Chains A and B, each alone.
Chain A
Amino acid sequence: MSLAPAITDLEQLKGHPALARLLAWNPASVESAKYDRGETTVYVARPFIREACAALRDDPNCPFAFLSDVTCVDLYPSEPRFEVVYHLLSLARKERVRLKVRVEAESPAVESVTSVWPAANFFEREVFDLFGIRFTGHPYLRRLLMPEDWEGHPLRKDYPVEGYR
């Protein structure tokens, strides 16, 4: 069992196409980055996420045209509580990147990326349903998996596994 330690130094990671594109487009959008177990993670500042996604999708060098997934991790009780995670894939260059946006617990909201990739529609609805994060600009933000009149957001860490029955 051999695991190389994670690299978190921006200087060393600048070669990755996604990070290079984001730093070239707007260095203020990148909070930090990490390379661990063969995968690159970039922490993007919340106000820039939609435009950063558009910049990555339109990158001529390595276009991240495919949105694999939008999901969320609840880090209760540490602050900021939520981390919205975007997994992008470049079909042409066969590169993946993970973008993360930190969101606080009080009325969590992030800009929707459905205008960048229509694929985000169902993914964001699911995150809203199970975590309670609002996606501003989403065309139809309603609960997806739970019934419409459900109260509470089941995947949050303070929601019991057995449910409230």
Chain B
Amino acid sequence: MILNMGPQHPSTHGVLRVILEIDGENVVRIMPDIGYLHTGIEKTCEAKFYQQVVPLTDRIDYLCPMTNNLCYVLAVEKLLGLEIPPKAQWLRVMMNELTRINSHLVWLGTHALDIGAMTVFLYCFREREDVLRLFEAVSGQRMMTSYFRVGGIALPPPLDFFERVRSFANRFPSCVDEYENLLTGNPIWGLRTKGVATITAEDAIALGASGPTLRGSGIDFDLRRDMPYSGYENFKFKVPIAQEGDVFARYMCRVQELRESIAIVQQTLDGMPEGPIKADAPKVVLPDREKMKTQMEALIYHFKIITEGFAVPEGEVYQAVESPRGEMGYYVVSDGTAKPYRVHMRSACLANMQTLPMMCEGRLLADVVAAIGSIDIVLGEIDR
């Protein structure tokens, strides 16, 4: 029997259509059908200035908007050859890790909800509310913050921001204990997730899987540690690995990543350097508003950057970062003008989703829901 799952389905986490060929309860073939959220972002980027692309990048992987921002601005800064001041780098790391926590909280809540553990959802979203309030304090927006700009950060954070982050960071590890208390030792959770949707390490690499999907199968690779960017080499953190390659292994990886991320946030708070938050490049970076209102040169730069953009030297760059889902990359090609010639997003979920047939074929229908949840897909990133 051929069964259609989606595109409207509470467990597919977005508009994903999965065509299932089943024989009783067993899945014979599974084929994902995507494209329901395709909005032509890559094409739109070619019609915008480089700084205007930043809000578009937020909306691609809408659960980790600052990670998208970071990847894009790092790519453009590589094209320009800009040096970013250390304070901006550390703030970027801090916001990136808070975004990772945000994304993993959504993953944990919705994954548990699909499998049937409904309380975890409410607990996770309670913490997520605090992080969203932090993002709102710093950028005015809860989710689509567009906080990072080419050359640094948009605005300095408000005066009480670091105390609020510190109080959240002190409270959060006990919350992760709460989630683990509910799920990790739970026999029902174990029955639903252990040994389910297994993928071997060789298959995961061959299929292009990255992030926890790869680390859950035993491959020790994390872009933050192995090919560091934006100052990640200054921080000490462990990269959680699991060996079994099943849903439970990926769950353990991500829950440990929650703990490691909050540890990184503590390290950024402890050692936050002083200094400017934007690079010293007047033709690229907008001047301070006070300077813009009082100095003629700053006003002219502001006007030129907003109306004409900044020209980026010809060339191409591929910048990859470790998003909560895996290797997210931006391939930016410049032809020397103020608009990018081509922007391509390497979506971690698109590659991770190719593991779905390997995970689900020959297994029970109910495991498909667990498998889709464990890959942690975001349709915005898959379809762009």
Query: A residues within 8 Å of B by Cβ?
Result: 1-3, 6, 36-39, 41, 65-69, 71, 73-74, 85, 87, 89, 91, 94, 96, 98, 117-123, 126, 130, 143-147, 154-155, 159, 161, 163
Q: Report B-chain residues with C-beta under 8 Å of the C-beta of A37.
A: 78-79, 81, 315, 317
A-B contacts, 25 of them at CB < 8 A, read A2-B81, A6-B315, A36-B316, A37-B79, A37-B315, A38-B78, A39-B317, A65-B205, A66-B208, A67-B208, A68-B318, A68-B327, A71-B344, A87-B329, A98-B318, A117-B207, A118-B206, A119-B208, A144-B34, A145-B35, A145-B384, A147-B35, A159-B43, A161-B40, A161-B44
Q: Decide yes or no: A118 and B317 within 8 Å by CB, A85-B331, A147-B35 being known contacts.
A: no
Report yes or no: A69 in contact with B221, Cβ–Cβ below 8 A. Answer: no
Q: How far is the CA of A163 from the CA of B38 in the complex (A)?
A: 13
Binds A, one of B122-130, B238-246, B345-353: B345-353
| Count of A-B contacts judged by CB separation below 8 Å | 107
User: Is the C-beta of B82 less than 8 angstroms from some C-beta in chain A?
Assistant: yes
Report yes or no: B82 in contact with A154, Cβ–Cβ below 8 A. Answer: no
Q: How far is the CA of A71 from the CA of B281 in the complex (A)?
A: 32
Q: How far is the CA of A157 from the CA of B209 in the complex (A)?
A: 31
Q: Report A-chain residues with C-beta under 8 Å of the C-beta of B315.
A: 6, 36-37
User: Is the C-beta of B42 less than 8 angstroms from some C-beta in chain A?
Assistant: yes
Q: Report B-chain residues with C-beta under 8 Å of the C-beta of A66.
A: 205, 208, 210
User: Is the C-beta of B383 less than 8 angstroms from some C-beta in chain A?
Assistant: yes
Report yes or no: B47 in contact with A161, Cβ–Cβ below 8 A. Answer: yes
User: Which 5 pairs of residues, A with B, have the shortest CB-CB distance?
Assistant: A119-B208, A3-B81, A145-B35, A69-B346, A145-B38
Q: How far is the CA of A155 from the CA of B38 in the complex (A)?
A: 12
Q: Report A-chain residues with C-beta under 8 Å of the C-beta of B274.
A: none
* Contact residues, B330-384 vs A (CB, 8 A): 331, 333, 341-342, 344, 346, 350-351, 353-354, 383-384
Q: How far is the CB of A53 from chain B (nearest CB, A)?
A: 13
Q: How large is the interface on B (under 10, 10 to 19, 20 to 34, 35 or more residues)?
A: 35 or more
> Interface residues of B: mostly helix, strand, loop or mixed?
mixed
Report yes or no: A121 in contact with B82, Cβ–Cβ below 8 A. Answer: no
User: Is the C-beta of B320 less than 8 angstroms from some C-beta in chain A?
Assistant: yes
Beta-carbon contacts of B24-45 to A below 8 Å, as 1s and 0s? 0000000000110010101110
Q: Report B-chain residues with C-beta under 8 Å of the C-beta of A161.
A: 40, 43-44, 46-47
Q: Report B-chain residues with C-beta under 8 Å of the C-beta of A94.
A: 226-227
Report yes or no: A1 in contact with B331, Cβ–Cβ below 8 A. Answer: no
Q: Report A-chain residues with C-beta under 8 Å of the C-beta of B353.
A: 122
Q: How far is the CB of A133 from chain B (nearest CB, A)?
A: 14
Report yes or no: B208 in contact with A155, Cβ–Cβ below 8 A. Answer: no
Q: Report A-chain residues with C-beta under 8 Å of the C-beta of B354.
A: 118-119, 121-122
Q: Report B-chain residues with C-beta under 8 Å of the C-beta of A3.
A: 80-81, 313
Beta-carbon contacts of B262-284 to A below 8 Å, as 1s and 0s? 00000000000000000001001
User: Is the C-beta of B219 less than 8 angstroms from some C-beta in chain A?
Assistant: yes
Report yes or no: A91 in contact with B208, Cβ–Cβ below 8 A. Answer: no
Q: How far is the CA of A117 from the CA of B210 in the complex (A)?
A: 14
Residue among A69, A94, A98 having the largest count of chain B Cβ atoms under 10 Å: A69
Report yes or no: A154 in contact with B281, Cβ–Cβ below 8 A. Answer: no
* CB nearest neighbor in B for A41: B316
Q: Decide yes or no: A122 and B43 within 8 Å by CB, A38-B78, A73-B333, A96-B318 being known contacts.
A: no
Q: Decide yes or no: A118 and B207 within 8 Å by CB, A1-B80, A37-B79, A147-B35 being known contacts.
A: yes
Q: How far is the CA of A38 from the CA of B44 in the complex (A)?
A: 28
Report yes or no: B208 in contact with A68, Cβ–Cβ below 8 A. Answer: yes
Report yes or no: B344 in contact with A69, Cβ–Cβ below 8 A. Answer: yes
